[in-house]
Amino acid sequence: MARSNVSPPARADRGQFAEDVAYYLSLTPRQLPSRYLYDDLGSALFEAICRLPWYRIARVERGLLRLHAHEIFARVNDLSTLIELGPGNGDKLLTLLGTARPGPMTAHLVDVSQHALDAATRALSPLADLAVVPHSVPYEVGLAEAVRDRP
């Protein structure tokens, strides 16, 4: 059986982790923030689920992006920076940018999973005029970093 390589939260983060677990498991329905589930194994499992024939969501999303990419970019003037939260393996962003990219741009990819960021960065590497900036942090931190890094 594959073993997860999630390391326990650092000592400073353990208190927050414990608070989050206590709070979210007290809700109805019980839940946990996804940032605690998306280690390398969790990311690989999600990608496998997306390829299952009965799980159509990812295929439909890519189809819609392919179909409407030109319309999407036509509504945004002088787009030079794009921020994607949870890029997964990069397929959706590759579909969007590979179909109708308006020119050179920087894509900030924000995910708690380094595995997902590595996969997305590899997937996007053929796009010569795209600079990829990965942020291996929670969404709110990555958004702040990406906004701060803008030219």
For residue 35, give the nearest of 23, 15, 17, 22 by alpha carbon. Answer: 17
Local structure of residue 77 (DSSP, 8 states): T
pLDDT tens across 71-117, in order? 998 888 888 899 999 998 999 999 999 887 778 999 999 998 888 99
- Band (pLDDT 50/70/90 cuts) for residue 39 is confident
Q: The pTM is what?
A: 0.78
Q: How far apart are CA 108 and CA 86, in angstroms?
A: 10
Pair 135, 146: CB distance under 8 Å? yes
> What percent of the chain is predicted at pLDDT more than 90?
50
Asked if 89 contacts 121 with a C-beta cutoff of 8 angstroms, the reply is no
Closest CA to 89 of 117, 69, 131: 117
Confidence of residue 151 (pLDDT cuts 50, 70, 90): low
Q: What domains does the chain contain, in order, with CATH numbers? A: 13-149 (3.40.50)
Provide φ and ψ at 79, rounded to 5°.
-70, 120
**pLDDT for residue 9 is more than 70:** no
Strand, helix or coil for residue 113: coil
pLDDT in tens, 70-81: 999 888 888 889
